[in-house]
């Protein structure tokens, strides 16, 4: 995300990004749009980075990744790919205000050619140093991990 940060800095920084999005168009490539979209679940700035194309007159994100910027780190929050109808959240906030990192988004699914069953390979977590992830109760419908942020 260093290049995206450089683009933001060259265009006036986060204060300017909050006022208006950055649109970059290069012939032969999809339009790149960088925009501030609010505050994140951990209190950082939310920034959307997306390539846009068109299909039947509709704008299509291919993909859009929303990041939370906190302490200079870019933490992924969600990814959306309109052409294939995919939206995944890496982090979400419960009704009680707790921040969760979704288990299903921290792994890659692979289908075993021999048995035809899906297996998961952990990719790691999107936590910052000092944060820990613990397994919540079995009653959680989405079976997320609870993100514990030290105070």
Helix (H, G, I), strand (E, B) or coil at 8: helix
Q: The pTM is what?
A: 0.66
Give me the pLDDT at residue 147, please: 42
pLDDT digits (tens, 9 = 90+) for 106-128: 433 333 344 444 443 334 444 44
Give backbone dihedrals phi and psi of 7, rounded to 5 degrees, phi first.
-60, -45
DSSP helix, strand, coil percent of the chain (3-state; round to 5): 15, 50, 40
| β-bridge partners, 144 | none
**Alpha-carbon distance values, 114 to 26, 107, 109, 117, 118 (Å):** 45, 21, 15, 8, 11
At 14, is the pLDDT very low, low, confident or very high (cuts 50, 70, 90)? very high
pLDDT digits (tens, 9 = 90+) for 61-88: 999 999 999 888 999 999 999 999 998 8
Give me the pLDDT at residue 133, please: 44
């Amino acid at each position: 995300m260093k290049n995206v940060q450089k683009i933001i800095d060259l265009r006036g920084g986060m204060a300017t990004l909050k006022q208006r999005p950055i649109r970059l168009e290069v012939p032969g490539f999809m339009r790149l749009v960088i925009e501030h979209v609010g505050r994140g679940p951990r209190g950082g700035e939310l920034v959307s980075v997306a390539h846009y194309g068109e299909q039947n007159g509709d704008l299509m994100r291919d993909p859009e990744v929303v990041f939370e910027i906190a302490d200079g780190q870019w933490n992924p929050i969600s990814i959306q790919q309109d052409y294939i109808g995919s939206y995944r959240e890496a982090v979400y906030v419960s009704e009680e205000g707790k921040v969760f990192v979704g288990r299903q988004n921290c792994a890659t699914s692979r289908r075993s050619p021999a048995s035809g069953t899906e297996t998961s390979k952990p990719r790691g977590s999107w936590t910052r140093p000092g944060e820990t992830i613990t397994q919540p109760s079995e009653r959680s419908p989405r079976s997320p991990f609870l993100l514990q942020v030290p105070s």
